[in-house]
Structure 1
Amino acid sequence: MTQTATPADTATSEFEHEPVPLSHRKSLFTVSAVWFGFPMILTNAVPGGLVVAMLGFWPGVGAILTANAIMFVYVSLLSWRAGRTGKSFALQATETFGTAGYAIASGFLATVVVGWFAFNTGATGASLSGAFGWNETLVAALAGLVFIVVTYLGIRALSVLGAIAAPLFIAAVIIAISLAAQSHNFSAVFGYKGVGGGAMSFGVAVTAIMATFADSGTMTADFTRWARTGKQAVAATFTAFPVASLVAQLSGALFVAAGAIADPAANGGNFAPLLTGTHNVLLDIFLFAFVVINLGSVCTHCLYNGALGWSHLTRSKIRVLTLILGVIGTLVAVLGAWHYFVNWLVLLGVLVPPLGAVLIADQIILAKRNAGRPEQRVRWTALAAWAIGAGAALVTHFFTPVLSDAVVGLVVGTVAYLVLEQFAYAKETTR
């Protein structure tokens, strides 16, 4: 049985178990601020710089543009559906995977994004420790607590943080460019040939760009369900993919191509070190605010995704799960375990696009045919199509690296679902 908010608490409700009613939807600015401030982060500059380091400037930029075009179409379709229905990712998944089957899809993604929360909380401690020599463990613990509090406040707090994080990132890029230009030649960036020597294919580069936000991109409904219409949900998505995402990734690409990043094959486009060592108090204060707010943006968004998903799974409240999952994620960060599972998180990200493809195929491509479809406990065609798409992505990842495993998973997942549904529909109509 689903829970509904009472009139007394709807003003502060996050609508964990029901669609957001039209009376409680937010403005386009608010929803856009939530998404806009999410991808424009330091950890999104890293893959942008990495693919340019591996491929060279123009091929790397081509991979960045291709990945963002795919992400825009992919996330916009899911957002459009969310804006029209007000349903969260968990509620969307319930329609497609079944009232019990959705737990596999929703539980998987809600857990992966908590892993990203832990990773970026740990990265906050490491970044500030490297910049100022502070105790990494203590800083990560304090940062985790701050991020939990912001997430606890709900979607409005995320929009405020996003509205601050995005311009702060742009200011950081401008300052870093001015500092790097004193010893590096930015006029040579267009001719940068990279250091990869063919170690990365174009397809792998596209996947590397997509993987960072495949998880939360698939869970976009958790944010865009607050939009007043499907069109406004798509408009909010556009501010993230391609706009904010491109700003972050092309910034990382620019610093790498200018030779301003030490060991770009390992560090990607992480330009934070350029802001350190100046012995300028004002710049040190700025760097502290930038790291905390910028990484705090991705941490709070990921924790919100995870808490919303698990609150629906456990029939609890999002704020209760925010505390529980936030403490768990912070402990993982404090213990240093975040160092060891980033590669696993990226690999798990390969399994996510086929899941979103099944949602799109079911709720958009086949929407008219499925209108009025009765609830089912488990929809095996959806789970099977996800498995087929994910299997194809994994095979591509390990055996055909010249292709993009994320794109292969998207295409195969979509086709598999449409084929399985056609067989199931034909079988049903011939009875």
Structure 2
Amino acid sequence: MTKTVPAETSTGEFEHEPVPLSHRKSLFTVSAVWFGFPMILTNAVPGGLVVAMLGFWPGVGAILTANAIMFVYVSLLSWRAGRTGKSFSLQATETFGTAGYAIASGFLSTVVVGWFAFNTGATGDSLSTAFGWNETLVAALAGLVFIAVTYLGIRALSVLGAIAAPLFIAAVLIAIGIAAQNHDFSAVFGYTGVGGGAMSFGVAVTAIMATFADSGTMTADFTRWARNGKQAVIATVTAFPFASLVAQLSGALFVAAGAIASPAVNGGNFAPILTGTRNPLLDVFLLLFVVINLGSVCTHCLYNGALGWSHLTRSKMRVLTLILGVIGTLVAVLGAWHYFVNWLALLGVLVPPLGAVLIADQIILAKRNAGRPPQRFRLTALVAWAIGAGAALLSHFFAPVLSDAVVGLVVGCIAYLALERLARPQTALMKETIR
């Protein structure tokens, strides 16, 4: 009897096929990958921002609402990935077509590389502000380190995540200890904010969701390594809501205590609190914290982008890691990252309807679609995504009281189900004619 050998070795990243059961990772490994991703400094920023604009309790309400939505959204996509072992690109191929998937995968894989560039630039900026170092040089060195870690693959991401999350908690506790010397944390519950009604509850929910809508939709790139759908969901729970809430509520706490200067601009960025003491040991800790913490989000985003583009170009993840990593680092070094954060957030609004179409097609209509023959372009999926994205953009510009992300998600899902229902009689008629 001939033994079947997997197409990829144990060091491969399975860019073009599902991860076989023989190569799946433990629950701890997959959880560490997701757990260490949202518990980052740049995720504390939107948490503090919405509290600054809405006040403590409304802001916390927006944070909890957004994380509840993200939990359901990402868990459903993860469950499918754990059952099939398929990456986001392979999932998209089923729903959008063997050629149509390139639109969805290319879009998201590019957006996450933008986030890699942004956070690499933020690393240089943070350390320059803290220690007066050359921002350009630090960003370049950080980019090279992040590329090297990503190059090692999914196992390196799990190790980094396992370090980054505890380090974040330690940083929060130290910052609280320092800030408590001059600020009253017992007054946080009565904080009313500084926004004066400039931000609606719906916009606050979108602000929280947009930070991780991209990689959340591409969760299959991480959770395809889980041994089954149940473990994939458990791994997701460690990120949404747990790790995400820790980061965002930490930012909210510092803002409500009055420990952040200009919170409407800086949000929950508590790193300056750690630099105020000029303690050498604390300076070393801050250096490690910034590099490892922001390195976590950079490596995860670069992994998403490299895996997606490797499938699009029929290449290897590690090759695309080098190419895209260099491009992203150059963008960071040139300072362009300062100018596109708002665009990245706006593009994030277009992502939830894409994920909604995947959920509707592969989970809600899974039984009906079993055995469906491949198609180059699945127009119902592409049109439904466009309808959902269009609704999200209309909400963004003309109905700011609503959450763009939620509107796009709901409309995208309903549009796909409606289009599939309308297309079904025609499909049945064509099958009958063929017979």
TM-score (norm. length: structure 1):
0.98
Q: CA deviation at 1:285?
A: 0.3
Q: CA deviation at 1:8?
A: 8.6
Q: Tell me the residue number matched to 2:213.
A: 214
Q: Distance in 2 between matches of 1:69 and 1:34?
A: 20
Q: Tell me the residue number matched to 1:243.
A: 242
Q: Tell me the residue number matched to 1:347.
A: 346
- Indicate how the Cα distance of structure 1 residues 268 and 297 shifts in structure 2: closer, same or farther if over 3 A, else same: same
Q: Tell me the residue number matched to 1:140.
A: 139
TM-score (norm. length: structure 2):
0.97
Letter in 2 for 1:349: G
Q: Deviations over 1:297-326 (max 9, x none)?
A: 000000000000000000000000000000
Q: Tell me the residue number matched to 2:291.
A: 292
Letter in 1 for 2:355: G
Is there any run of 5+ residues in structure 2 with no aligned partner, and where? 431-435
Q: CA deviation at 1:9?
A: 5.1
Matched, 1:175 2:164: no
Q: Tell me the residue number matched to 1:322.
A: 321
Q: Deviations over 1:366-412 (max 9, x none)?
A: 00000000000000000000000000000000000000000000000
Q: Deviations over 1:89-117 (max 9, x none)?
A: 00000000000000000000000000000
Q: Tell me the residue number matched to 1:102.
A: 101
- Indicate how the Cα distance of structure 1 residues 282 and 358 shifts in structure 2: closer, same or farther if over 3 A, else same: same
Q: Tell me the residue number matched to 1:262.
A: 261
* Conservation of the 8 A alpha-carbon contact between 2:8 and 2:14: no
- Indicate how the Cα distance of structure 1 residues 427 and 224 shifts in structure 2: closer, same or farther if over 3 A, else same: same
- Indicate how the Cα distance of structure 1 residues 76 and 320 shifts in structure 2: closer, same or farther if over 3 A, else same: same
Q: Deviations over 1:57-83 (max 9, x none)?
A: 000000000000000000000000000
Q: CA deviation at 1:37?
A: 0.1
Q: Distance in 2 between matches of 1:408 and 1:260?
A: 34
Q: Deviations over 1:405-426 (max 9, x none)?
A: 0000000000000000001112
Q: CA deviation at 1:249?
A: 0.1
Matched, 1:428 2:433: no
Q: Distance in 1 between matches of 2:424 and 2:74?
A: 28
Matched, 1:113 2:112: yes
Q: CA deviation at 1:428?
A: 1.6
Q: Distance in 1 between matches of 2:86 and 2:429?
A: 34
Q: Tell me the residue number matched to 1:380.
A: 379
Q: Distance in 2 between matches of 1:204 and 1:85?
A: 35
Query: What secondary structure, in the 3-state scheme, does the structure 2 residue paired with 1:195 have?
Result: coil
Letter in 2 for 1:374: P
Query: What secondary structure, in the 3-state scheme, does the structure 2 residue paired with 1:430 have?
Result: helix
Q: Tell me the residue number matched to 1:338.
A: 337
Letter in 2 for 1:194: G
Q: Deviations over 1:103-152 (max 9, x none)?
A: 00000000000000000000000000000000000000000000000000
Q: How many residues align?
A: 427
Q: CA deviation at 1:430?
A: 3.3
Letter in 2 for 1:69: A
Letter in 1 for 2:49: L
Q: Deviations over 1:250-306 (max 9, x none)?
A: 000000000000000000000000000312111000000000000000000000000
Query: What secondary structure, in the 3-state scheme, does the structure 2 residue paired with 1:197 have?
Result: coil
- Indicate how the Cα distance of structure 1 residues 9 and 20 shifts in structure 2: closer, same or farther if over 3 A, else same: closer
Query: What secondary structure, in the 3-state scheme, does the structure 2 residue paired with 1:248 have?
Result: helix
Identity %: 89
Query: What secondary structure, in the 3-state scheme, does the structure 2 residue paired with 1:198 have?
Result: coil
Q: Distance in 2 between matches of 1:297 and 1:348?
A: 22
Q: CA deviation at 1:429?
A: 1.8
Query: Deviation above 3 Å: which 4+ runs of structure 1?
Result: 5-9
Alignment RMSD (CA, Å) = 0.9
Q: Deviations over 1:209-249 (max 9, x none)?
A: 00000000000000000000000000000000000000000
Q: Point out the more displaced range, 48-57 or 421-430.
A: 421-430
Q: What are the equivalent positions in structure 2 for 1:360-379 lying under 5 Å apart? A: 360-379=359-378
Q: Distance in 1 between matches of 2:135 and 2:91?
A: 39
- Indicate how the Cα distance of structure 1 residues 82 and 7 shifts in structure 2: closer, same or farther if over 3 A, else same: closer
Q: What are the equivalent positions in structure 2 for 1:22-61 lying under 5 Å apart? A: 22-61=21-60
Q: Tell me the residue number matched to 1:163.
A: 162
Q: Tell me the residue number matched to 2:183.
A: 184
Q: Tell me the residue number matched to 1:408.
A: 407
Q: Distance in 1 between matches of 2:130 and 2:8?
A: 43
Q: Distance in 2 between matches of 1:6 and 1:224?
A: 23
Is there any run of 5+ residues in structure 1 with no aligned partner, and where? none
